Structure 1
Amino acid sequence: MTKNVTTVGFDADDTLWHNEKFFQLTQARFAELLADHAEPGDLEARLVAAETRNLARYGFGIKGFVLSMIETALDVTGDRVPPAVIRSLIEAGHDMLEHPIELLPEAQAAVERMADTHRILLITKGDLLDQERKLAQSGLGDLFDGVAIVSDKTPDQYTGIFASQGDGADRGLMVGNSMKSDVLPMIVAGGWGVFVPQELAWDFEHADPPADRARYAELDDLSTLPDLVLRLG
């Protein structure tokens, strides 16, 4: 019998392992360092504006986040930010880049079960070296049939990846915690999009669910993913 879904793509950050909580902890430290220069709410808004503005320059990931914090610190202090603050922000970035990987509950079991029955891919965006480090430390790397680290997730990206490493997007499924990056563009490409929300999420990744839910599903966690894929056929 021909399967409807032959290839399953997994997002990485905050789908398989913790990520956003480290950004939020660093951002809280950033607010402490700049407390004498800006109110927390205003500082957060200016940092978000800098991150959004800089995505086209730096892409997604820790390095761009640190550069955006430094830029915001310069802005709110009128270019008089103490050198010690800059040093602290750089060190915070180093800590994030060296932090041990913490798998989310059910992540390993779900990947292992899907690897037994389907072709599985890791499709993630962000800094190449950092994402390679995370995958190597996760212990999941040998389970994937292919890995794609991209600058952004778009319908064209999914179309190309599932064509070259699967049987086409129409027989592919993408699972992740971002409606904007993991679900909607995959559905536009003709595949299934499965949303697994996390309590902590970057505002940039927020989007409304698709109006047409024929190829959309939402799960509480990854433990029920294999059963969902089985039902799809």
Structure 2
Amino acid sequence: MHTPPRGIAMVGFDADDTLWRSQDFFDEAQAQFERIITRYVDLEDVGKRLYQYEARNIAFYGYGVKGMALSMVEAAVDITEARIKAADIKRIIKLAKDLLRHPVEVLGDVREAVAEVAAHYPVVLITKGDLFHQEAKVRESGLSELFRRIEVVSEKDPGTYARLLEEFHVPAARFLMVGNSLRSDIQPVLELGGWGVHVPYHLTWMHESGVQLTQGRERMREIAGIRELASAVRELDALAMQ
């Protein structure tokens, strides 16, 4: 594949809630957790209380199902003042195991959209979360052959993207990231001088929401669905070549 001397030289893709469903299953697990806890205490903000534990524990456990599970157990003990029964702790652990075993559900038109972009640009997959779980989802998705590289990282911030782009030998000004999260997929790349296509998902984890872009808006496009991706990439590529 010939890469022109200017313009977009590589396109990166997020995975969870960009290529396949994820937050739906986490939200359902949380709803079941809340039902368990409200048998012990009369609280309306169990979900918010759980998020406080999850946010604090990211530094220890990282992202993904296992970190959520440990946070749920800790929150359950604290919220119920240690009155929660061992059987219900076991139910909480089962919620996590069910998440880890859940079949991958690739979103509609994703394969065609990624393949269309990959026909014109090198594409890489950059996702964060538990290494074993993310690798399993990539395998089960049937999409792995479309990507030049697959990277599972502990965090998606400017430093991580800068490190990866150095490894890819691609300057930030020629890199475009596609994803559903402004916080993790778009904002860090824009801060480095890159480009982004935001594909909103109908659900967003609290940790990924509430982001206000302060720079680089002119280098981003938001699309209503993945079918619009190739057109958005071409538009930004033309701008990058100026």
> Aligned residue for 1:192?
195
Q: Secondary structure at the match of 2:119?
A: helix
Shift of 1:160: 1.8
Question: Matched residues in 2 for 1:60 and 1:40: separation?
Answer: 26
Which shifted more, 149-158 or 127-136?
Answer: 149-158
Question: Structure 2, unaligned stretches of length 5 or more?
Answer: none
Question: Matched residues in 2 for 1:161 and 1:204: separation?
Answer: 23
TM-score between both structures, scaled by the size of structure 2: 0.92
- Choose the corresponding residue for 2:146, options 143, 147, 152: 143
1:38 to 2:63 alignment: no
Alpha-carbon deviations, 1:150-181, whole Å to 9, x = none? 11011121122122225222100001111111
Q: Which runs of structure 2 are paired with 1:60-139 in the superposition (5 Å)?
A: 60-139=63-142
1:157 to 2:191 alignment: no
CA RMSD of aligned residues (A): 1.3
Question: Matched residues in 2 for 1:39 and 1:121: separation?
Answer: 47
CA contact (8 A) 2:191 2:215 kept: no
The code of the aligned residue for 1:127 comes to D
Question: Matched residues in 2 for 1:13 and 1:51: separation?
Answer: 18
Alpha-carbon deviations, 1:46-75, whole Å to 9, x = none? 101000110000000000001111111100
Shift of 1:41: 2.6
TM-score between both structures, scaled by the size of structure 1: 0.96
- How many residue pairs are counted as aligned between the two chains? 233
> Aligned residue for 2:218?
214
1:14 to 2:10 alignment: no
Q: Secondary structure at the match of 1:121?
A: strand
Runs of 4+ in 1 over 6 A off after TM superposition: none
Question: Matched residues in 1 for 2:223 and 2:125: separation?
Answer: 19
Question: Structure 1, unaligned stretches of length 5 or more?
Answer: none
Shift of 1:116: 1.0
CA contact (8 A) 1:159 1:169 kept: yes
Alpha-carbon deviations, 1:114-155, whole Å to 9, x = none? 111111010010000000000000000011000111110111
Alpha-carbon deviations, 1:24-44, whole Å to 9, x = none? 101111111111223453211
Question: Matched residues in 1 for 2:43 and 2:28: separation?
Answer: 14
Q: Secondary structure at the match of 1:117?
A: coil
Structure 1 residues 211 and 189 mapped into 2: Cα distance closer, same or farther (>3 Å)? closer
CA contact (8 A) 2:190 2:215 kept: no
Aligned residues: percent identity? Answer: 40
Which shifted more, 81-90 or 157-166?
Answer: 157-166
- Choose the corresponding residue for 1:52, options 49, 52, 55: 55
